[in-house]
Amino acid sequence: MVFAYVLINAEVGYEDSVLAEAKKVPEVKTAHLVYGVYDIVLLLEAPNVEMLKDVITKKIRKIPNVRSTLTMMVVK
């Protein structure tokens, strides 16, 4: 299994709806609304890096009102 933290910038006023949609993605293990440079922090789990990439590009980034993401792969 591979893990990654994904930081999300959402459109202003849509943070709660982006969080709710992200929580529906099966690979999302935890999802939190945060204050700071980013609005949402996700912990993702997938069987391999290729599937993790697909989750981020085809599911997370496709959520309406996601402006940008930053992915940090867990190495240890």
Spatial neighbors of 17 by CB under 8 A, at least 6 apart, are: 64, 65
Gap between the Cα atoms of 43 and 38, Å rounded = 14
For residue 52, the surrounding DSSP H or E stretch is helix 49-55
Give the predicted TM-score (pTM) of the model: 0.95
Q: Which domains does the chain have, with CATH numbers?
A: 2-73 (3.30.70.920)
pLDDT at 25: 99
* Contact predicate 60/29, CB 8 Å: no
Three-state secondary structure call for residue 74 = coil
Q: What is the pLDDT of residues 11-60, one digit of tens each?
A: 999 999 999 999 999 999 999 999 999 999 999 999 999 999 999 999 99
